[in-house]
């Protein structure tokens, strides 16, 4: 019991549903800091929780609420739905709670509000929309809350407000508009003046700025001073008695002499010419080393492989010529010269009467019957050494 009311506190218990075995006679029911994500239709009525007057569902994960989720809570006076994930709620969501007096919706995400009544309730007196990321307030936002007395719109993203938004709140007694984004232009200042003229408790956001200490110091009238004579300040002399500095008699070194006589451009040109000359000489030496140059033709010496290839080609040409000569012009009657020297028997010299002995007849030179001519030497013997 607390203040003669039955109280049930189920805080920070990782509860996922409103039905956790609490007695049905509970009147103050706290379910904050849990993981409830949805409120189904008739969820309290089906469990028999019809005596609840104060319901705290803050700091949960609620993102969806059924249209008849609060059915049966006829005695509900205070409802806390702050710090959840609500992005939209139907305007007649609290139609089943006629005695609802205070509604806390702070810490939700109502970024874009349509130009229609946000809520429809005849007895609601306190509405908290603090830190809901609201960007603008449509004109018809509070047209169905005739008995609203206190509203908190602080810590949102609004930069301006229209008087027509607050005109339907005829019983408004207090409004909070704390925000860092207000533009203190004439229209917003006019809204603040209207709020104050109606006797509504309100803390002005656009206050008259007081001058800073530096601005006060600047505004003080400074003493007048006499004009300054320029001639007296700069001490202008009439006679110029300055003498040129004496020239040094120290002999110059070769480097200093070269630096004095030649400019940087001349030194650059000389260096460029020397570099070109060295490049030409180096190119000539390189060409003489790798090439044999004539007047207009440059040929490199043959390598060992090229000489061997040339010799091989010459040998093959010689063999081909010998074979083609034997085939095209055969001499079947006359044998080769080095095989025609046939030895004869001993004979007497016609003048001296002495017998002359000649060399014996070579076997290869003897002519055999049924053979017209001695065949040419084999192909392998037709090689000419160069």
The pLDDT tens digits of the residues spanning 230-243 come to 566 555 555 555 55
> Using CA atoms, how far apart are residues 379 and 365, in angstroms rounded to an integer?
20
> What value does the mean pLDDT take over residues 22-46?
94
The pLDDT tens digits of the residues spanning 243-302 come to 555 555 667 777 677 667 767 777 788 888 899 999 999 888 888 877 655 544 555 566
Full DSSP string of 155-179 = SS------HHHHTT-TT--EEE---
Q: Assess whether pLDDT exceeds 90 at residue 76.
A: yes
> For residue 305, how far is the Cα from the chain centroid?
59
CB-CB contact of 138 with 116 (8 Å): yes
* Pairing outcome for strands 355-356 and 347-348: antiparallel
pTM: 0.55
Query: 357 vs 22, which has greater pLDDT?
Result: 22
Q: Assess whether pLDDT exceeds 90 at residue 134.
A: yes
Q: Assess whether pLDDT exceeds 80 at residue 366.
A: no
C-alpha neighbours within 13 Å on the C-beta side of residue 331: 6
Q: Assess whether pLDDT exceeds 70 at residue 351.
A: no
The pLDDT tens digits of the residues spanning 172-226 come to 999 999 998 898 899 999 999 999 999 999 999 887 544 444 444 544 444 555 6
Q: Assess whether pLDDT exceeds 50 at residue 343.
A: no
> Using CA atoms, how far apart are residues 261 and 277, in angstroms rounded to an integer?
24
pLDDT, averaged across the chain: 79
Q: What are phi and psi of 313, to 5 degrees?
A: -65, -40
């Amino acid at each position: 019991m607390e203040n003669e009311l039955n109280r049930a506190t189920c805080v920070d218990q990782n509860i996922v549903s409103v039905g956790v075995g609490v007695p049905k006679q509970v009147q103050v029911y706290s379910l904050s800091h849990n993981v409830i994500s949805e409120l189904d239709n008739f969820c309290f009525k089906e469990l028999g929780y019809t005596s609840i007057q104060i319901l705290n569902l803050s700091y949960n994960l609620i993102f969806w609420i059924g249209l008849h989720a609060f059915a049966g809570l006829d005695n509900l006076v205070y409802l806390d739905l702050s710090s959840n994930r609500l992005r939209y709620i139907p305007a007649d969501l609290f139609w089943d709670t006629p005695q609802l007096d205070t509604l806390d919706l702070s810490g939700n995400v109502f970024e874009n509000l349509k130009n229609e009544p946000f809520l429809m309730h005849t007895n609601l007196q306190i509405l908290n929309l603090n830190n809901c990321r609201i960007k603008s307030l449509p004109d018809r936002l509070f047209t169905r809350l005739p008995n609203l007395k206190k509203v908190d719109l602080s810590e949102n993203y609004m930069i301006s407000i229209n008087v027509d938004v607050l005109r339907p709140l005829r019983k408004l007694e207090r409004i909070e508009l704390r925000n860092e984004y207000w533009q203190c232009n004439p229209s917003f200042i006019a809204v603040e003046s209207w709020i104050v003229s109606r006797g509504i408790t309100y803390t002005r956001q656009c206050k008259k700025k007081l001058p800073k200490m530096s601005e006060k110091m600047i505004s003080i009238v400074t003493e007048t001073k006499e004009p300054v004579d320029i001639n007296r300040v700069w001490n202008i002399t009439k006679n110029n008695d300055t003498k040129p500095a004496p020239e040094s008699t120290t002999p110059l070194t070769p480097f200093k002499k070269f630096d004095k006589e030649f400019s940087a451009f001349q030194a650059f040109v000389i260096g460029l010419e020397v570099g070109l000359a060295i490049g030409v000489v180096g190119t000539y030496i390189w060409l003489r080393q790798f090439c044999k140059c004539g007047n207009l033709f440059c040929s490199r010496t043959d390598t060992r492989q090229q000489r061997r290839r040339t010799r091989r080609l010459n040998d093959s040409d010689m063999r081909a010529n010998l074979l083609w000569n034997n085939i095209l012009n055969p001499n079947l009657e006359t044998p080769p010269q080095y095989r025609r020297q046939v030895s004869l028997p001993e004979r007497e010299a016609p003048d001296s009467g002495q017998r002359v002995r000649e060399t014996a007849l070579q076997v290869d030179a003897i002519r055999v019957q049924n053979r017209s001519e001695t065949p040419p030497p084999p192909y392998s013997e037709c090689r000419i050494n160069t």
